[in-house]
A and B are shown apart, each in its own frame.
Chain A
Amino acid sequence: MSDIADRVKKIVVDHLGVDEDKVSETASFIDDLGADSLDTVELVMAFEEEFGIEIPDDAAETIQSFGDAVKFITEAS
């Protein structure tokens, strides 16, 4: 797994309080990992912080899963 994926996974685990092995490529934050809409806003803020990038609101809405997040951040950074 890439360095980006590791760092994204750590944020997801810390913020949502889920086991690391549940955070699979296709795991949806809301449907699979117990997040609500406010949690996803906070996750995006944490990604911005960790990777020093800005994720516009329309892009943030497309980040629904762990895989989406890794893909977006890899392309953005």
Chain B
Amino acid sequence: MRRVVVTGLGMVSPLASGVEETWKRLLAGENAAGTITRFDAEKFATNYACEIPFGDGSDGTFNPDDWMEPKERRKVDDFILYGLAAASMAVEDSGWKPSSEDEFYRTGVMIGSGVGGLSTIADTSITLKERGPRRVSPFFIPSCLINLVSGQVAIRHGFKGPNHAVATACSTGAHAIGDAARLIQYGDADVMLAGGAENPICEIGVAGFNACKALSTSKRDDPKAASRPYDKNRDGFVMGEGAGVVVLEEYEHAVARGAKIYAEVLGYGLSGDAYHITAPASDGDGGYRAMKAAVERAGIDAGEVDYINAHGTSTMADTIELAAVERLLGDKAEHATMSSTKSAIGHLLGAAGAVEAIFSILAIRDQVAPPTLNLHDPVDAKLDLAPLKAVKREINVAVCNSFGFGGTNASLVLGKVR
């Protein structure tokens, strides 16, 4: 089977626009949560989230004009804007510039989203109701479709290889990276852009997740304390937004062009819970089987896993994942460090797996596990949960977990290139 490596990274996160700035702030323990500014959330059970810092592009702020002309931006929901920006960063970082027709044919895109253009759907529904069908924009459908991140990225860069999109709720980003890696392994492409994008912080998004009792509600006075994975006092996730995109590349292809290689995608595993629409099965078997499959595919012993970037959303499900990880690692559990970076950036839903895979890759590059913020009163764990501060340590192999509504699980095993 062909080997797949990561040669480019791009990200728009609630901590910053850009991979390195986000990473720096993450390691420093910065926290992106705050009162929602996008709309008046006073009447909502949750009035806080992790919003992208919009600005003029300086000091880590995100300036949409840097990534899309204003007249084009009107035609897309912001999840597409975030995805386009992250993809452009990743392409730039990779230095991959196809020149021959065949190189364009052999470069594809697989960027997904959990819910796509949710706020645009909501707004357009109001237009339809109040002003009638003739006032619905011709750009409404292509601005909302989940696969239009992949479509827009391909149009911008000319990539004519496989063009695909994943929609598996909060597992989207991880599934996209794993599935795209397989396309390269099977020879459908030599280079794939893969990841996820999400723009859920809108009235209907917050109301919807509030209604299914998924969001933290108790920290209106102190939003930065709200996302507290693995803490006994956690009470739900904090919504985030943004996008993460990686450039995946066949190993020999990357070596031949002298590309910078961050890490190798060693393994990928998938499973389903067949249990409940929003809750994971209490035995954690779905997550365990996804991780086990990924580790087996990587051809490593579970005890070799140094770092786990947990799904860890700050909900009741945290302990289920913890038990599944400890089951996987067995008597090697005390050797490993696991953290949830959702404590700093919130839960980016369909973008989470991609952003967190990037953090896992950087953890390998810099030999440091990012912290789990707000972890003052941890649940019982054999693993080191990296409370409050980043942990400098040897990291050769990292596992990145994502579990989604519907009982859909994905695990990636990432490692140093050997």
Contact = CB atoms under 8 A, between A and B. Distances in A.
A73 to B, nearest CB: 17
Contact of B137 (A16, A45, A48): A45
Contacts of A16: 71
Nearest to A40: B138
B69 interface: yes
A38 B71 contact: no
A17 B135 CA distance: 21
A22 interface: no
A76 interface: no
Contacts of B71: 14-17
A17 B70 contact: yes
B134 interface: yes
B134 A17 contact: no
A63 to B, nearest CB: 15
Nearest to B135: A45
Nearest to B71: A17
B139 interface: yes
Counting contact residues on chain A (CB < 8 A from B), the size range is 10 to 19
Contacts of B70: 17
Secondary structure at the A interface, as helix, strand, loop or mixed, is: helix
Nearest to A54: B134
A38 B134 contact: no
Interface string B136-154: 0111001000000000000
A42 B139 contact: yes
A30 interface: no
Contacts of A54: 134
Contacts of B137: 42, 45
A42 B69 contact: no
A57 B142 CA distance: 21
B40 to A, nearest CB: 27
Contact of B138 (A17, A42, A48): A42
Interface of B: 69-71, 75, 134-135, 137-139, 142
19 contacts: A14-B71, A15-B71, A16-B71, A17-B69, A17-B70, A17-B71, A38-B75, A38-B138, A38-B139, A41-B138, A42-B138, A42-B139, A45-B134, A45-B135, A45-B137, A45-B138, A48-B134, A49-B135, A54-B134
Question: What are the 8 A-B residue pairs with the smallest beta carbon separation, nearest first?
Answer: A17-B71, A41-B138, A38-B138, A42-B138, A38-B139, A42-B137, A17-B69, A42-B139
